[in-house]
Amino acid sequence: MRLQILLCASCLIFSCWLISTATSYNLVCYFASWAIYRNFSGKFDISDIDPHLCTHVCFAFIELYEDGSLYVVDPWASNDEDDGGHYHQFRSLAELKKSNPDLKLLLSLGGWNEGSKNFSIVSADPVRRIKLINEILPLIEKYNFDGLDVDWEYPTLRDYAQPEDKDNFVALLKDFSEVLKPKKLLLTAAVAGAVDKIESAYDVEKIMQYLDMINLMTYDYHGAFDNFVGHISPLHASPLDYEHGRNATYTVSTGLEYWIYKNADISKINMGVPTYARTFTLEDPNNHDLYAPVTGPGERGLYTGLLGCLGYHEVCEFYSGSDSVMYWDDDQKVPHRVIGDQWIGYDDEKSIELKVDFAMAHGVAGIMVWTMDTDDFNGLCGNKYPLINTVKNRLTFHENKKKQKKIS
């Protein structure tokens, strides 16, 4: 009898160990290399990265010239030529693998500020594409990156838009794939989460052939580029969206489901969540409903210094006091805050959990986060990285459910 009890206890211990092991889901975290120059407690350096927090870390960004040559935006911080004692991010990133050998590091090319023109020109020319690849590959190999993330925002759209961009993006990814795959290096892409952009920019089935993952930007649905109040990343539509006859598809749920509708490989999708807010200055502080008129973007944050945008660390530290009122939109499943004439749409732990649950119910590969450096990485409002840890904990919850189902 005692032996049976011991055996049962051992089985129970083993089962608990099995259930609590690390998640197999992706948690892809970008960080903005320019955050090293932010003010005060907003300054973010490689030393602030917990190498066990995310499964993949993406360095944002390197850029390109129209001749196909590479532009390292900040060589002072990024390379080790004639270093003179400077702190070098590429080298320091590689050091993170000593703490976590399973961590994957990706070099991200492009970004919003890069625009579309140079991508359009380079992708249209096989010679320029090869030149770009031949410059990126040595950088990846020298600094022990695990692959490349392509962030063209967006083919066929913005400056210098060309209808051929859609096909040329496929050609660019194909060329990258043929060089990276034999070396067992990853190829990923950050892609739009709005239906109109998806339809215009991507031949979904073709790009999925060459990509190991897509990082779906299911945020920035609204912001200071609108002349009315709207949330950065609503999970679902509000009845007001239908009432106003627009924007009902500008939601996380529609963005993800449209990629699935277009036959994207769900096992390669990481659904995005933001750790920053989009903000507005209200025309009338007493009217703070969705679609309320605004006079412009919200005030600059102390750390990020951008009009119409605040990091979550700024929201929790400076905009969560007694003079700030938090509202929960039960249709959109997201919070916002109002303080005076400032309207702040953001994600908190509750809305993040709901988004992770939604993504997992659709069978995605994981979650992408933009960015590490706008979460509360110093723990000034409580625990460090509250939003990313919420993602991680919820992914672990879903992983444990899968494992429990297998055991039972």
Looking at the annotation, which residues are catalytic? 153
Contact 367, 27 (CB under 8 A): yes
Pairing between β-strand 342-345 and β-strand 334-339 as defined by DSSP bridges: antiparallel
Contact (Cβ atoms closer than 8 angstroms) between residue 391 and residue 356: yes
d(CA 70, CA 132): 6
Contact 293, 228 (CB under 8 A): yes
CA-to-CA dists, residue 280 to 290, 333, 370, angstroms:
11, 19, 20
Residue 343: DSSP 8-state: E
Q: Name the DSSP letter for residue 301.
A: P
Eight-state DSSP code of residue 86: -
Q: Measured between alpha carbons, how far is residue 210 from residues 207, 265, 407 in Å?
A: 6, 11, 35
Which amino acid appears at position 44 of this protein? F
Residue carrying structure tokens 């649950």: 357
The sign one gets for the Cα dihedral 215, 218, 219, 220 is positive
User: Residue 259 CA to chain centroid, in angstroms?
Assistant: 16
What amino acid occupies position 264? A
- The partner residues of 281 in beta bridges, in order of sequence, read 296, 342
Tokens for 172? 């660019």
- Tokens of residue 314, six digits: 């700024």
* Helices (H), ranges, 288-376: 312-318, 349-361
Contact predicate 203/163, CB 8 Å: no
CA distance linking residue 114 with residue 108, whole number of Å: 12
Return phi, psi of residue 133, to 5°.
-60, -40
CA dist., res. 5 & res. 383, Å (int): 40
Q: Which two tokens stand for residue 73?
A: 């935006």
- Return the structure tokens found at 403: 């494992």
